[in-house]
Each structure stands twice: as structure tokens, then as C-alpha cells.
Amino acid sequence: MLRVGVVGASGYVGGETLRLLLHHPEVEVAQATSRRYAGEFVYRVHPNLRGMTELKFMDVDVDRLAECDIVFMATPHGASARLTPKLLEVGLKVIDLSADFRLKDESAYPRWYGWHHPAPELLSEAVYGLPELHRREIAKARLVACPGCMAASAILALAPVVRAGLVDLERIVVDAKMGSSGSGATATLASIHAERFGVVRPYAPAGHRHVAEIEQELGALCGKPLKVGMTAHAVNIVRGILSTIHTYPVGELELRKLWQVYREAYGDEPFVRLVRDKKGIYRLPDPKVVFGTNFCDIGFELDKHAGRLVLFSAMDNLMKGAAGQAVQCLNIMLGVDEKTGLDFPGFHPA
């Protein structure tokens, strides 16, 4: 049994990672750390785990973490950049759920995150943890940097058409709608139920940090620079993200061609579903359908009138947008079935 540790396990991403790992047949959860809740039962913070585990949170201790084989970092941005080098040094593998090793370009950190990276030498080694693009590198990686949820959502929807050169690279708009769990387990006035319930609140009208990841990954796919304009909204759900992506085709584009490139890209993927149905209530992706699952549902529509191609991408931000993605990477690194511990169909109704 592989021994895993989760650093930052009291947050939502850390808790979700813990939930998945506790039920994962190939691993044993050796440690869950939380500075704030050290000594407390895990189920006090994550009440879903009541009766499932008697684990207690520990404080972070590199020496103790060294007893693990793999560590998941679910820390606030900035913390992993300082801790991960030490973990690698003692021979651990690290799957990082923060933003700290996602960007290849050292200068992107001061620009998008406002700080200089303390371990820039690791940026080229780190593998961007999106299996659909980097499965082979993930298998051999020592350090995996899992994508941001909005980035994952946008990249998966855009990759096939960007790779195939089907859309104008200067006119890509990502209009994202996010659930409240994306803001983390932190109490602010803006996040309390009375203020946050029932909103459709633009919280990042432009300049969201995930733009950097999206441009990096899509740019690598097409070999050209591209510009992504992202606007993020808070909506009245807890889990889930829908990215609606507005693009403009280069030249004539038919549905048949779209089916072709999407099937080529994702036909064999265990966690990407193409959703574009002619019947039923759920004809296009909707986060309600993927609640609790590791699926990314992708759909598309051609707007002949306005010359537009619209893409839709729905996922559970804590699953395929974070913890589920990380466990999928783990499975690849372990060489087991990618669906191990992730084969959950979701609910109807959720």
C-alpha cells in the first residue's frame, strides 16, 4: 500500500482529496495536516467522514511527511512553493493542487500572482496535471501541478479546436459561472449565505489568474500565442463550474467537423463526455449533472447567425477541477486503472 499524506487537509480541496484517498484501494492515508485544526478529529471539520475514519489532523512536519510516499499539497497559493522543494529533497513525490508550479515561465509569477517564485528551477520539471494533455509525462513525474478548476474547464473545451486551428486565437472569451466552494472554507462577509445566496455576481470581470495557465497550455498546443479574455461569476450553487466559451471560427465550420475533432480528442478519455443531445432536459453540459463526479462534460453549438462557435464545459470544481484530477494523476503515476476510486456516476436529481 502506498502511503500518502495530504497537506492542507482541512480546506475543501484537501478534504475532498482525503475523502477520495480514504476510499482508494491502492493507498493508505498516513497523514492529514492542518495548522489550524491540529489534534482535532478530521470528521469534526469534514462531517461527511464521521464514522469513516478516526484520523486526526497533525501539524505540518517535513520529517514526519517523509514517512509517506506521495504528498498531496492542498495549501493556499504560495505555501507549496516553499514546502514542496523540501519534500522532493527527501525523496517524496508531490501532487500539488495549488497554483505554485503550474506556470513554466518564472516571470509569470510576479505578473499574475504578485510574488517571485522561490524555486524556479522546479518549474520546468513540474508536469501540468491534466491527463488529457500530459498523460505520459504525468506517469513519470516527480512533481505534478494540477490545473486550476477554471483553467481545466476552459482548456479541455478549447484544446481540440485550438489544436486543429479552427478558431480565431485573438477572440476567445471564457465566461465562467462558479459555485461557492471555489472560494474555500474561509469566512468573509461577501461569502455568508445572506450575501452570497441568489447572486449572479461578476467577481473577476477581467484578469483572472487562471488565464495564464490557459494561454500557456493552449499556446503549446497550437504553437502560437493566443489571448483569452475571462470573466468569472459567482452563482447560487455550492459545487460546480460551467464555462461558456465564445469563439469565432476561422473559415467555414460544420458540426460534422466539430464532432470529428472532439471525438478524436476525447473518444477514449475516461472522464470527458461529449454532451450535445437532441432530446431530454440535459442537452448540453450542466454542473448539476456532474456534481460529485470526475467528469468534464463538453458540448458545442454553432451560431450561424453571428458567426460564432460556443463551447460549454461543466465539471465539479472540487473533483475534476481539483481533488478528482489529482487522484486521476495518482492513478496514472501508479499505473493502475485511471478510474480507480473515481468511478462515481453522480446523482439524479442532484
Q: Residues with catalytic annotation?
A: 149
Q: Contact between 192 and a copy of itself (CB under 8 A)?
A: yes
Q: Residue 265: which of 225, 307, 218 has the closest Cα? A: 218
Minimum distance between the CB of residue 262 and a copy of itself, rounded to whole angstroms?
A: 14
Q: Which CB atom, from 298 or from 330, has the smaller least distance to a copy of itself?
A: 298
Of 284, 315, 327, 330, the residue at the interface with a copy of itself (CB under 8 A) is: 284
120 preceded by a cis bond (ω within 30 of 0): no
**DSSP reduced 3-state for 219:** helix
Q: Contact between 335 and a copy of itself (CB under 8 A)?
A: no
What is the size of the binding site for a copy of itself (CB under 8 A)? 102
Of 1, 28, 44, 255, the residue at the interface with a copy of itself (CB under 8 A) is: 44
CA neighbours closer than 13 Å in the CB half-sphere of residue 42: 30
Of 286, 315, 320, 333, the residue at the interface with a copy of itself (CB under 8 A) is: 286
Q: Contact between 202 and a copy of itself (CB under 8 A)?
A: yes
Q: Which CB atom, from 159 or from 230, has the smaller least distance to a copy of itself?
A: 230
By CB under 8 A, the residues from 244 to 273 that bind a copy of itself are 244, 246, 248, 273
Go through 91-124 and write b for each residue having 16 or more CB atoms within 10 A of its CB, e for each that does not.
ebbbbbbbbbbbbbeeebbeebbeeebebeebbe
Minimum distance between the CB of residue 115 and a copy of itself, rounded to whole angstroms?
A: 19
Minimum distance between the CB of residue 141 and a copy of itself, rounded to whole angstroms?
A: 27
List phi, psi (to 5°) of 248.
-120, 120
Of 3, 64, 86, 233, the residue at the interface with a copy of itself (CB under 8 A) is: 233
Of 191, 220, 334, 340, the residue at the interface with a copy of itself (CB under 8 A) is: 191
Q: Residue 22: which of 277, 235, 341, 238 has the closest Cα? A: 341
By CB under 8 A, the residues from 291 to 310 that bind a copy of itself are 291-293, 295, 297, 299, 301-308, 310
Amino acid (one-letter) located at 336: V
The residues near 107 (Cβ < 8 Å, ≥ 6 apart) are none
Per-residue binding string, a copy of itself, 21-40, x by CB under 8 A, is: -xx----------------x
Q: What ranges make up the beta strands (E) of 43-163?
A: 70-73, 93-96, 127-128, 143-145
Residue carrying C-alpha cell 471539520: 45
Minimum distance between the CB of residue 38 and a copy of itself, rounded to whole angstroms?
A: 14
C-alpha cell at 107: 516571470
Q: Contact between 183 and a copy of itself (CB under 8 A)?
A: yes
